[in-house]
Structure 1
């Protein structure tokens, strides 16, 4: 397993993140998550890309994880629609989607990723993406 994108510390308490696996002390999550970066005192966590120890984003508490789920539920259908419509790869469609989202949010593309967003940024993603579906 590669260890290329380790969260340095918890965004809530600044404690160092620990890489835990199912069955270890402090790891209360289902086995299907695989290796997970955890801040045990805050119960903030983030899963890893399959087969790696590379974090999928930043450590998140339950509230932020909920908003990330909502943001993905609003954003993912847009790039998935592009993938089907333009018959392009998943990677190309996601990159185009994040480029569009960065423009909508006034953020640099390299800083626009739901996995690293705050609650307020996730709320904004939901608003922006839902407005696309409301347009006539």
Structure 2
């Protein structure tokens, strides 16, 4: 039996805020930074609808659902809080991802902050801060 070749087509991505399709665009256009060579999925209603998401490096796969400014900011904060957990030595990076997956009762393969909603980001920030405080590593 022959294995099916992986399809190399662009994903259909919709904006969760306005329902419009998202287009694959150079990040340099959005960030006004010609040194960037990465890609973003950007809502067709941009800039009225300020939703976009980065693409997995070397692919055309979105890192997660499109995010507006508030959600992008929360994802950044959640990543910073989460990274402090393993960078401060509270646990290893791998153990931290397992801990996060267990906390949210999700499979390890789904433990990606780029997939998280505002609520889940807020919960992760709070849980990381609690863990760091209990470990005596709070800033």
TM bracket (short chain): 0.7 to 0.9
- Cα distance 1:33–1:114, how it changes in 2: closer, same or farther (>3 A)? farther
Report SS of the residue matched to 2:61.
coil
Query: How high is the TM-score relative to the length of structure 1?
Result: 0.74
For structure 1, the 5+ residue unaligned runs are 87-92
What's the counterpart of residue 66 of structure 2?
Answer: 59
Query: How high is the TM-score relative to the length of structure 2?
Result: 0.73
Q: How far, CA to CA, are the matches of 1:4 and 1:100 in structure 2? A: 35
Query: How much has 1:17 moved relative to structure 2?
Result: 1.5
Q: How far, CA to CA, are the matches of 1:130 and 1:66 in structure 2? A: 17
Residue deviations 1:17-67 (CA, integer Å, cap 9, x gap): 1101257xxx43234262110113122011123333232222100000000
Query: How much has 1:3 moved relative to structure 2?
Result: 5.6
How is 1:36-115 mapped onto 2 (pairs within 5 angstroms)? Answer: 36-41=40-45, 42-81=49-88, 93=93, 95-115=94-114
Contact 2:14/2:20 (8 A) holds in 1? yes
- Cα distance 1:22–1:104, how it changes in 2: closer, same or farther (>3 A)? closer
Q: Which runs of 4+ in 1 moved over 3 A?
A: 2-7, 79-82
Residue deviations 1:47-105 (CA, integer Å, cap 9, x gap): 123333232222100000000000001001223455xx86xxxxxx3x43222112122
Contact 2:21/2:44 (8 A) holds in 1? no
More helix by share: 1
What's the counterpart of residue 120 of structure 2?
Answer: 121
For structure 2, the 5+ residue unaligned runs are 1-6
Structure number with greater Rg is 2
Contact 2:13/2:41 (8 A) holds in 1? no
Alpha-carbon RMSD across the aligned residues, in angstroms, is 2.8
Q: How far, CA to CA, are the matches of 1:131 and 1:35 in structure 2? A: 35
